[in-house]
Amino acid sequence: MRPIIYADNAATTKLRADALEAMKPYLIEEYGNPSQSYSFSRGAKKALKEAREIIATCINATPEEIYFTSGGTESDNWAIKGVAFALENKSPIITSAIEHHAVLRSCEFIERLGYPVAYLPVNTEGKVLPNTLNNIITERTRLVSIMFANNEIGTIQQIKELAYIAHKNGAIFHTDAVQAVGHINIDVQEMNVDMLSASAHKFGGPKGVGFLYVKSGTHLISFMSGGSQESSKRAGTHNVAAIIGMAVALKSSINEIATVQKLYEEERFFISKLQDAGLVIGNDFTWNGDHKEGNHLPGVISLSFKGRDGEVLMHRLDLKGIMISTGAACDSVNTQVSHVIKAINVPSDFETGTIRISFNQDTSHADVEAVADALLMALK
């Protein structure tokens, strides 16, 4: 394979070597079904228990509050439909206009079934202002679902404040933390969230596995009917190796969170390279989202270039072996301007020129420089 510079870590990440090593025995020797009670399954069962404990510790939950799923999409679908369908009456739900499609499409689905859904606007930095939630929430609201950090522009929401408003009105608070888990510290108790979605492949774990944190006492119905796995709430034989890989990847990512902070510096360096080449923020490009340190995901840069086509820029960089994205990966077949870019009001002559670059801890300073140089060439 030709060498590449991978700058699309918000789409997915490379499997960590320690996660792969930890997974191997459960793919080869320890293949017993952890739901069986004979001795051969004991190893898998024990590993599953440990993985649950590790994950719970990583987000300050208890092991009983962690439910393994097939990834972020399932966790989001379950959180929304599971809470909606838990009650007989069709109580209102509030979400935001910039959620991932896993949340938006789930909300649209229940809306078609007669549940009232409100989509909160965001400001130009992609922030849901707590007041906008305060203004429309009522005591009838059943669920509020606001993402922890946005996958296209990286903006981190004021989750603690939003959860507080939800609880004050008796609603359950869910957050899609798929982009945030493993990249920034998350403490579910400190934030006081009731449900949180995560996906292993966003933090160096394998694809097709994730979890939903559900605070004890939160009423949601089971999503998958079948066996009694996951306290009879999510049936299906466990993907043992993947779950173990996820736990190891999460623990290692969290141990490295401090080093990820250097990515904020790399972002500033990247932008300064564009500016040194004569490009002016506001005139030639916009730097989207709240890009102050700590207010967005480290390493995620969303830019919109005036009069350009993000798709063309992406392909020009691809020819040079550099992988970036035009927006959400799941949107790559869709050349329309994303709902996030629309929601933050990127000017119409800039919006089609949107690209997302997402570095991670494996990205070297030389890589960052090479991506900036290649982008400048592509713009010429």
274 versus 341: smaller Cβ distance to ligand PLP: 341
Site for ligand PLP contains 199 (CB under 6 A): yes
DSSP structure string for 34-99: TT--SGGGHHHHHHHHHHHHHHHHHHT--GGGEEEESSHHHHHHHHHHHHHTTSSS---EEEETT-
87 versus 330: smaller Cβ distance to ligand PLP: 330
Burial class (CB in 10 A: 0-12, 13-18, 19+), 333: exposed
Applying CB under 6 A, among 96, 151, 155, 175 the residue interacting with ligand PLP is 151
Query: Catalytic: which of 330, 334, 362, 365?
Result: 330
Applying CB under 6 A, among 7, 65, 71, 361 the residue interacting with ligand PLP is 71
Site for ligand PLP contains 9 (CB under 6 A): no
Shortest Cβ 70–ligand PLP spacing (Å): 7
Cα separation of 207 and 107, whole Å? 24
Cα separation of 44 and 50, whole Å? 10
224 versus 277: smaller Cβ distance to ligand PLP: 224
Site for ligand PLP contains 184 (CB under 6 A): no
**Footprint of ligand PLP on 320-359 (CB under 6 A):** 329-330
The span of 55-63, 69-77, 106-114, 254-262 binding ligand PLP (CB under 6 A) equals 69-77
Cα separation of 256 and 238, whole Å? 28
Cβ atoms of residues 147 and 323 within 8 Å: no
b/e sequence 77-111, b meaning 16+ C-beta within 10 Å: bbbbbbbbbbeeeebbbbbbbbbbbbbbebbeebe
Applying CB under 6 A, among 82, 92, 154, 210 the residue interacting with ligand PLP is 210
Cβ neighbours of 268 (radius 10 Å): 12
In degrees and rounded to multiples of 5, residue 359 shows phi and psi of -85, 160
Shortest Cβ 210–ligand PLP spacing (Å): 5
Site for ligand PLP contains 73 (CB under 6 A): yes
**Footprint of ligand PLP on 75-104 (CB under 6 A):** 76, 100, 102
Contacting positions for ligand PLP (CB under 6 A): 71-73, 76, 100, 102, 147, 151, 176, 178-179, 199, 210, 329-330
Catalytic sites, residue numbers? 330
